[in-house]
Structure 1
Amino acid sequence: MSITPDILLQNVTPISRKHDGNEQLDIRIRSGSVVEIGKGLSSSEDKEVQDFEGAYLSPGWVDMHVHLREPGFEHKETIETGCKAAAFGGFTEVACMPNTNPPIHTRDVVEFIKKKGEKLPVEVHPIGCVSKDREGESIAEMGDMQDGGAVAFSDDGDPVSNAQLMRVALEYSSMLGVPIINHEEDLKLSRPGYMHEGKVSTRLGLDGTPGIAEEVMIARDLLLAEFTGGHIHVAHISTAKGVELVRRAKADGVNVTTEVCPHHFDLTDEEIENRDFDTNCKMHPPLRTAEDVEAMIEGLADGTIDVICTDHAPHAIQEKEVEFIYAPNGIIGLETAWGVSVRQLLKSGVLELEQLLEKLVYNPREILNLEIPEITEGTVANLTIFNTDQEWTFEERHVKSKSANSPYLETKMSGRAEAIYNKGQFVLNEI
């Protein structure tokens, strides 16, 4: 990372809603803003010049679902280390979930997080709690938190199980113009649930979480969103029936959006058996079946699923190196999201590059009401530079997070984020 208000980016191929990705250009940045775009710009007056021959340049990517752990769990991750992981993954903005200690349930905690991230090259957007102390009993001060910088509300890590509380939250959503993001899980149906309930869990003798535990809660929230007019955002969707429920609700005009994580459109519950109970394959929602994975891909292709996010969930080594049933749920994902997405969605022909970028650049910002950066002269530079063809292997030395709980270590990746530029800072990713 470097404080780089002035730089010349050479031989990049801009791709955005205004650029078709077919022309190689130079981009000159002064004091953090784009001042000139053209071919063969002179570099004689530029102190820093970076040549990105063959790379694309898009508006900066957003991950709208990460866990940065601070305050309270800094042994897993900090805002600074989480942002380093985000920059390596190509993200210039992240939205962090409120299951911290104290939780993000008051304006002062929102402002603390904003303050901690203000000098970093990755913009941090706090997501406030729906309920006070994340206890699911009484509504938090959502309006005050929004005034402090909260961009959405969620009790993620846990669902909002109380239907009346969710109704009130969605009514606030319609007034404040922000989404309610729910961790869709009926706890009575899902627990103890150490993996997906199915053939593999039966063979392994593990209690499983059935898909219906997610689907019942999605159905409830869709009905409440329809009733209140509020905006429900379905977090980390993972089941085929869940996708179909959202698809039907969208067709009926319900104010609903949803997201999916790369591991849920790539890996199945068979990984737990194949990897001999590797706890880096334990997350919630759990890895599900091949049919569910195919449904995630179909949902991305037809637009039912709006956003790709990571649910980046760091855990310390000692927390994951235990028996499978005792390990916490969650994996890191910021560093590998692009490589998995390119392999599964772009190289396979499921999505065109422009469609993939919609789910990383535009849709998350529209959902969270964030300003969409442009690649035009006179605008603040918020940029991701990336390729789609570089083959590389994700190794432990590439982990920028404070934790390394990833099922993708020693996995081949297709494409990578080469650099980001944001907030007057340039981060070049070396591999």
Structure 2
Amino acid sequence: MKLLFRSVQIVDKRSVHHAQIKDLLIENGTITAIGEKLEAGKAKVFEVEGLHASPGWLDMRTGLRDPGREQDENLSSLKEIAARGGFTGLTLMPNSQPAVDSKGTLTYLLREGQTGPVEFFPTATVTKGAEGKDFTEMIDLHQAGAVAFTDGVNPLHNSDILLKSLQYLRPLDALLINRPEEQYLSLYGQMHEGITSTLLGLKGIPSLAEEMMIIRDLKLLEYALEGTDSADLGGPVLHFAMLSTQKSVALIREAKKKGLPVSCDVAAHQFAYEDDALLGFDTNLKVNPPFRSRADRLALQKGLSDGTIDAVVSDHAPHAPQNKETEFDHAEFGITALETAFSVALMHSGASLDTLITSLTHAPRRILRLPEVSISEGAAANLTFFSPGKKWVFAQSRSLSQNSPFLNQELKGAVNGICNRGELIWF
């Protein structure tokens, strides 16, 4: 397969061609030439006004429903919507049924991710069934291909388990991911605790629930790393998933200044809404962590722009209609987000395009210790093609679930296609 892309603006801070408009020639899955007015020969030519190319996007937080809840999303539909969202790689959370706590389930996901341009990078649970009680065989799971360890949607609330996990994973140079939430403070919570939750009569989830967990985890990390030379560490040791509050951003910023090996991410939709958006009781806006105050949203924007927040994630969480089309306090948390994550972050994060693309490409790969991907001659063609200035209407989701607040909205920033492992999907 020989492909020629004309007049493409390259967005890749690690490429010597960054911010330049070049032709890209791809042959049999390899970038063979980058230049101007390249000869087409027998290549299939693509020429789109305003076309950009970056290393393939990697989502660091994709909700997994297969096996166990394939009616919500199966692996085939997951690949399709990932491609439409511009992602060539997905970091799968382990909360399937059964959970990814054994080599059997892990091998199933790795095998299913071997074909097509969308790769799977499954995580494995820290505890059996992600129940927070007994450890899994983390060494075996690491050697079998788990890219990180996390209980996914379930916070590691047991301090001893979190501490021992940090100590256990450090010799493996493996990453621990935790979603910071003190579950007893957030118990029965439906939305951000504030004026709006009081007006609506809904139990609130206080910012303190997130911030206390971050403070605890940072203290445990310091304790676990006493006497350790940071130069001996291959990358971040502890990753905080889905920050949502102003104080959380400040805590991570301070931890990084102290030299602690931490990283963090934010869900793209957190930039788009504040808690007063729930005045209409739209269950598609029920997410966890919840949409919070304006000050929190602005702090997230600043945190991404100044590098405190490393990655932007989709937090794709598909649910069958009966779990969303019900009373607000009975509805599940989460939205389908892979198809819209880039557009939503581009429109609402306030970050530069370079910063946003880095948060979707180099940062996730650095955090997860995955091989680097860059746009250079001789490199494998792992690419996302997109038009940041193009407007489009999200009229139909290809997900098996439809719980998105962005349906039928006009968005900015369209994905044109992806190329990876010698295959091209073009829209």
TM (normalized to structure 2)?
Answer: 0.94
Question: Where does residue 417 of structure 1 map in the other structure?
Answer: 415
Structural mapping, 1:119-158, within 5 Å: 119-158=115-154
Asked if structure 2 preserves the Cα contact closer than 8 Å seen for 1:10 and 1:53, the reply is no
Of 258, 263, 267, 2:269 maps to 263
The equivalent of 1:341 in structure 2 is 345
Kindly provide the CA deviation profile for residues 289-348 of structure 1, in whole angstroms up to 9, marking residues without a partner as x. 111101101111211111000110001122211111111111011111111122123xxx
Find the partner of 2:60 among 56, 59, 64: 64
Which residue does 2:40 correspond to in 1?
43
Aligned with 1:200 (options 191, 196, 201): 196
1:7 to 3, 16, 38: 3
Q: How does 1:108-119 map to 2 (within 5 A)?
A: 108-119=104-115
Deviation at 1:219, TM superposition (A): 0.9
Q: Deviation at 1:21?
A: 4.4
Question: Retained in 1: the 8 A contact 2:215–2:251?
Answer: yes
- 1:163 match: 159
Among residues 258, 266, 285, which one is paired with 2:289 in the alignment? 285
The aligned counterpart of 1:363 is: 363
Assess if the C-alpha contact under 8 Å between 1:196 and 1:287 holds in 2.
Answer: yes
1:406, distance to aligned residue in structure 2 (A): 0.7
Partner of 2:326: 322
Corresponding position of 1:248: 254
Cα distance, 1:280 vs structure 2: 0.2
Contact 1:89-1:338 within 8 A present in 2 as well: yes
Q: Counterparts of 2:16 and 2:379 in 1: how far apart (Å)?
A: 15
SS at the partner of 2:47? strand
CA distance in 1, matches of 2:19, 2:242: 33
1:106-161 per-residue CA deviation (whole Å, 9 max, x = no partner) reads: 12211110111211211110011011121111221111111111100100111111
Amino acid at match of 2:381: A
Aligned to 2:228: none
8 Å Cα contact 2:22/2:36 also seen in 1: yes
Residue 337 of structure 2 aligns with an amino acid whose one-letter code is G
**Displacement of 1:201:** 0.6
Deviation (angstroms), 1:353 = 2.1
Where 1:217 maps in the other structure, the secondary structure is: helix
Query: Is 1:78 aligned with 2:84?
Result: no
1:304 aligns with 2:311: no
Q: Is 1:97 the equivalent of 2:77?
A: no
Contact 1:215 1:242 in 2 (8 A): yes
How far apart, in 1, do the equivalents of 2:298 and 2:339 lie?
Answer: 23
**d(CA) in 2 for partners of 1:310 and 1:184?**
17
Gaps (5+ residues) in structure 2?
226-235
The secondary structure found in structure 1 opposite 2:61 is: strand
Q: Which amino acid aligns with 2:89?
A: E
Amino acid at match of 2:28: S
Determine the C-alpha separation between the residues in 1 that align with 2:200 and 2:112. 44
**Conserved 8 A contact 2:362-2:373:** no
Q: d(CA) in 1 for partners of 2:243 and 2:143?
A: 29
Question: CA separation of 1:112/1:199 partners in 2, compared to 1, >3 Å: closer, same or farther?
Answer: same
| 2:269/2:345 contact within 8 Å kept | no
Q: Note if contact 1:15-1:58 (Cα within 8 Å) is conserved in structure 2.
A: yes
C-alpha separation between the residues in 2 aligned to 1:151 and 1:271?
Answer: 36
- Quote how far apart the aligned CAs of 1:93 are: 0.7
2:180 maps to 1:184: yes
Given that 1:110 and 1:150 are in contact with CA atoms closer than 8 Å, whether structure 2 keeps it comes out as: yes
Aligned-residue offset at 1:259: 0.2
Q: Report how far residue 285 of structure 1 moved.
A: 0.8
The alpha carbon displacement at 1:38 in A equals: 2.0
Residue 294 of structure 1 aligns with which residue?
A: 298
8 Å Cα contact 2:81-2:399 kept in structure 1: yes
Hey, what does 2:229 align to over in structure 1? none
SS in 2 for 1:54: coil
SS at match of 1:137: coil
Partners in 2 of 1:317 and 1:209 — Cα distance? 24
Q: TM-score, normalised by structure 1?
A: 0.94
5+ long unaligned stretches in structure 1: none
**Structure 2 Cα separation of the partners of residues 80 and 295 of structure 1:** 37
SS of structure 2 residue aligned to 1:321: coil
> Does the 8 A contact of 1:243 with 1:296 survive in 2?
yes
**Cα separation, 2, equivalents of 1:323 and 1:54:** 44
Separation in 1 of the partners of 2:422 and 2:345? Answer: 28
Per the alignment, in what secondary structure is the counterpart of residue 405 of structure 2?
A: coil
Q: Which residue of 2 aligns with 1:235?
A: 241
CA RMSD after TM alignment: 1.4
SS at match of 2:184: helix
Indicate conservation of the 8 Å contact 1:257/1:306, yes or no: yes
CA distance in 2, matches of 1:197, 1:15: 39
Deviations 1:194-222 (A, max 9, x none): 11111101000011111111111111111
Query: Is residue 258–residue 307 contact of structure 1 (8 Å, CA) maintained in 2?
Result: yes
Give the Cα separation in 2 of the matches to 1:172 and 1:362: 26
Give, in whole Å, the separation in 2 of the partners of 1:20 and 1:27: 11
Alignment partners' CA distance in 2, 1:400 and 1:52: 24
Compute the displacement of 1:54 (Å): 2.1
**Residues 225 and 256, structure 1, Cα contact 8 Å, conserved in 2:** no
Deviations 1:53-109 (A, max 9, x none): 321111111111011311111011112211211111111111000010110011221
Instruction: Please tell me whether the aligned partners of residues 50 and 389 of structure 2 are also in contact (alpha carbons under 8 angstroms).
Output: no
State how many pairs are aligned: 416
Partner amino acid, structure 2, of 1:264: Q
